[in-house]
Structure 1
Amino acid sequence: MSAPSSEEQHDLKKTRMVFVKWMKPPLGWFKLNTDGSSVQQRKIAGGGGVIRDGFGNWVVGFSIGFNFTSSVMAELLALRDGLIIAKSVGIKKIVVELDAKVVVSLITNSSNTKKSINSSVMDCKNLLQGFEECIVQHTYREGNRVADVLAKMGSYQADKFFIHYHYAPPNRETSFLLALDNMNVLTARSMKS
């Protein structure tokens, strides 16, 4: 085995490790994690999400299939559906967390958006105004694992546009990831400096 070249050593110096974990919302608040999934090769898309309380308890999750669309649109549609569900269960204070920086930026900034996604962005902004208090923030994929599993489930659903409500984790993988989140397990993420 040869020693790393100077170029490889330079690249190693540019990376750093960040430890990520899912964080509980403050007591009296709820957290909505959403994710979108768009698989170009299979022409499928879906979304999913989960709402948890200040103790990390599962309140409700969902998965939904969409006609094939872009990843940004899948993220926006999943967020919209998650906000509608949060309102329907009477949540007043909500932390919204997703791993798509572009969507967080679209929702938190007042800049113009492409016409193709403008109505979905406005839907999300309008729904957020219906909460007494809300925070929208980015997390890395490692802090959004439960929503990611639900989004992938949604993208493979045969019945598109039908929301499946999950009042408990729907499978072993989701239960396992929920338990890891509640145990504050850190996941390492390599980041370019």
Structure 2
Amino acid sequence: MSSSGLVQLGLIFRDEFGNVLASAIKCIFGLWTSDISEALAMAFGLRLAMELSFPHIIAKSYRQLLIGLFQAKETPYSPLGYVLQDCFEWSHLLNRCSWSFTKRSGNYVAHALAKLDDFSSAEQEYFWIEDIPNAVSAVLALDVSLLQ
């Protein structure tokens, strides 16, 4: 989160070979925990999966607490619970959605997207189909090499 309260969420969709299907950044204003930011990114990704007609997805996060709540289908009575409820509603619109924990090192590209300075000036959404911003190309290349 920036000092202005602008939070930038990054996500990437890949196929089973690591090829980029889509990537996106969402900038929103707010003050909340990193768990809520990660849950908001998951909700954003689930909504995009629906809009892009991706019927089967594996939603990955490095936040173990979130994955545990998703897998247990639990929504605590809290601000986090409200965001999780949105995630569940979006996930039910897909043919199949599963939840998977990944180490932070398995989430480099999404993290790099969330940290890009070029997009952090206004509350807005940015999308790339079968592409990513040039500024994270090197991160993607390293990440794909680790998959092989």
Counterparts of residues 98-109 of structure 1 (less than 5 Å): 98-109=61-72
Percent of matched pairs sharing the same residue:
23
Aligned partner (choices 27, 31, 35) of residue 65 of structure 1: 27
Specify the structure having the higher radius of gyration (Cα): 1
The equivalent residue for 2:108 is: 145
Structure 1 unaligned blocks of 5 or more: 1-37, 187-193
Question: Residues 50-95 of structure 1: CA distance to partner in whole angstroms, max 9, x if unpaired?
Answer: 0011221111111111213221211111111111111111111111
The equivalent residue for 1:54 is: 16
- In structure 2, the CA distance between the partners of 1:112 and 1:127, relative to structure 1 (3 Å rule), is closer
- The answer to whether 1:178 aligns with 2:140 is yes
Question: How far did residue 123 of structure 1 move?
Answer: 0.7
Counterparts of residues 109-128 of structure 1 (less than 5 Å): 109-128=72-91
CA distance in 2, matches of 1:87, 1:65: 20
Secondary structure of the structure 2 residue equivalent to 1:87: helix
Structure 2 unaligned blocks of 5 or more: none
- In structure 2, the CA distance between the partners of 1:155 and 1:107, relative to structure 1 (3 Å rule), is farther
Question: How far did residue 99 of structure 1 move?
Answer: 0.8
The equivalent residue for 1:76 is: 39
Q: Is the 8 A contact 1:96 1:136 kept in 2?
A: yes
Matched to 1:72, the amino acid is D
Q: Is the 8 A contact 2:75 2:84 kept in 1?
A: no
* 4+ aligned runs moved over 3 Å, structure 1: 41-44
- In structure 2, the CA distance between the partners of 1:68 and 1:155, relative to structure 1 (3 Å rule), is farther
Question: How far did residue 156 of structure 1 move?
Answer: 5.9
The equivalent residue for 1:34 is: none
TM-score by length of 2: 0.86
- In structure 2, the CA distance between the partners of 1:122 and 1:130, relative to structure 1 (3 Å rule), is same
The alignment of Structure 1 onto Structure 2 pairs a total of residues equal to 146
Q: Is the 8 A contact 1:65 1:155 kept in 2?
A: no
Q: Is the 8 A contact 2:39 2:66 kept in 1?
A: yes
TM-score by length of 1: 0.68
